[in-house]
């Protein structure tokens, strides 16, 4: 009879642990063909008085059944969440994956190392603009228009006659224009040339050096650069000053070092350009070449880093491949 439903359902629901089982129970009693539904359908055969008596009872039992099922449903949900939470518990005693540290880029390391050496020699550091005028990049350095030396440098030209500096040498002119001798400076920075292969990138880095005073000689130039090479590459390295040509120095030289490659065989490697400041450059900044002489040099940071670390492709510096960068 109707009084039997609730105790029976309460009994059965104790055995239920999943949503599926609960759905089955629900349809067993309340579904279209459910037991309780069948019972309620049977009241249509009763007399009017009986219907009036049974109706409210049936309704309240049905509500009670629905309530029991809804409660069970929340219980199942709650247990599922508790289970998930307990499985996801963080074990604070597990060893960590470790923190990845960044490192200073090899080009910055090399640049800082070079700057440090020259600081110890008493040079001061100045930086200058990457967007230059034709005057500073070429004209004042004795590279007039139509001069064949302009072909050596594939220039990126900008609007209004400006350009991206092709070397750090314009800093020689800027520093001399703004100061009186004695001058003893280096100037690191980015330079740009329209050129790209395993040893060239459109942007690269140089460090310029300039020393102007009374009685500066080629001997001073050799002494400073030999000492620099021995400090930078370490130990006893043979150097040779090979005659060369730059419009802004006279005489000019390229400095080669004797370098052992991986197989152990020795080769001469060109590392930088240098020379005595050309009197024409002094003229353009208003210095008297009767009173002063100067030495100058310019080196490529990428080139020095490639020699020092045995890197064969300049593009490694710019690919940000951690496997490459972590070696430094």
Give the nearest distance from C-beta 322 to ligand DAH in angstroms.
31
Q: Is 167 in the site for ligand DAH (CB under 6 A)?
A: yes
Q: How far apart are CA 56 and CA 192, in angstroms?
A: 93
Give the nearest distance from C-beta 211 to ligand DAH in angstroms.
11
Q: Is 249 in the site for ligand DAH (CB under 6 A)?
A: yes
Q: Is 275 in the site for ligand DAH (CB under 6 A)?
A: yes
Q: Is 282 in the site for ligand DAH (CB under 6 A)?
A: no
Q: Among 14-22, 69-77, 267-275, 279-287, which window interacts with ligand DAH (CB under 6 A)?
A: 267-275
Q: Is 169 in the site for ligand DAH (CB under 6 A)?
A: yes
Q: Among 80-88, 92-100, 212-220, 293-301, which window interacts with ligand DAH (CB under 6 A)?
A: 293-301
Q: Among 25-33, 41-49, 129-137, 272-280, which window interacts with ligand DAH (CB under 6 A)?
A: 272-280
Q: Is 82 helix (H, G, I), strand (E, B) or coil?
A: helix
Which of 61, 65, 163, 274: binder of ligand DAH (CB under 6 A)? 274
Burial bucket for residue 29 (CB in 10 Å: 0-12, 13-18, 19+): buried
Q: How far apart are CA 233 and CA 241, in angstroms?
A: 17
Q: Is 181 in the site for ligand DAH (CB under 6 A)?
A: no
Q: Is 155 in the site for ligand DAH (CB under 6 A)?
A: no
Give the nearest distance from C-beta 260 to ligand DAH in angstroms.
26
Q: How far apart are CA 241 and CA 257, in angstroms?
A: 9
* CA-closest candidate to residue 164, choices 202, 127, 126: 202
Rg (CA), the chain: 43
Q: Is 137 in the site for ligand DAH (CB under 6 A)?
A: no
Q: How far apart are CA 328 and CA 309, in angstroms?
A: 9
* CA-closest candidate to residue 142, choices 284, 271, 242: 284
For ligand DAH, the closer of residues 82 and 154 by Cβ is 154
Alpha carbon 306 to its chain centroid, in Å, reads 20
For ligand DAH, the closer of residues 65 and 272 by Cβ is 272
Please report, as ranges, the residues that interact with ligand DAH according to CB under 6 A.
167, 169, 208, 246, 249, 273-275, 296-298
């Amino acid at each position: 009879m109707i009084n039997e439903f609730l105790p029976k359902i309460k009994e059965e629901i104790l055995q239920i642990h999943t949503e599926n089982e609960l759905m089955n129970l629900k349809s067993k009693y309340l579904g279209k063909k459910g037991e309780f539904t069948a019972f309620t359908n049977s009241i249509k055969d009763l007399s009017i008085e009986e219907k009036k008596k049974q109706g409210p009872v049936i309704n309240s039992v049905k509500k009670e059944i629905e309530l029991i099922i809804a409660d069970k449903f929340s219980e199942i949900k709650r247990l599922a969440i508790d289970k998930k939470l307990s499985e996801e518990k963080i074990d604070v005693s597990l060893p960590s994956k470790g923190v990845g540290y960044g490192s200073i880029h090899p080009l910055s390391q090399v640049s800082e190392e070079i700057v440090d050496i020259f600081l110890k020699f008493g040079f001061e550091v100045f930086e200058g603009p990457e967007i230059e005028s034709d005057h500073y990049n070429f004209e004042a350095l004795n590279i007039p228009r139509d001069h064949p030396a302009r072909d050596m440098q594939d220039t990126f030209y900008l609007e209004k006659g400006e350009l991206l500096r092709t070397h750090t040498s314009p800093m020689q002119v800027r520093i001399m224009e703004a100061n009186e001798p004695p001058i003893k400076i280096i100037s690191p920075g980015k330079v740009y040339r329209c050129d790209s292969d395993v040893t060239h990138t459109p942007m690269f880095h140089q460090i310029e050096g300039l020393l102007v005073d009374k009685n500066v000689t080629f001997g001073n130039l050799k002494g400073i650069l030999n000492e620099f090479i021995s400090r930078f590459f370490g130990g006893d390295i043979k150097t040779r000053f090979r005659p060369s040509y730059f419009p802004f120095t006279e005489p000019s030289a390229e400095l080669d070092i004797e370098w052992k490659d991986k197989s152990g065989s020795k080769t001469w490697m060109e590392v930088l350009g240098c020379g005595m400041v050309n009197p024409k450059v002094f003229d353009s900044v208003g210095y008297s070449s009767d009173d002063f002489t100067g030495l100058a040099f310019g080196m490529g940071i990428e080139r020095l880093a490639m020699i020092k670390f045995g890197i064969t492709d300049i593009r490694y510096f710019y690919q940000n491949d951690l496997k490459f960068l972590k070696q430094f």
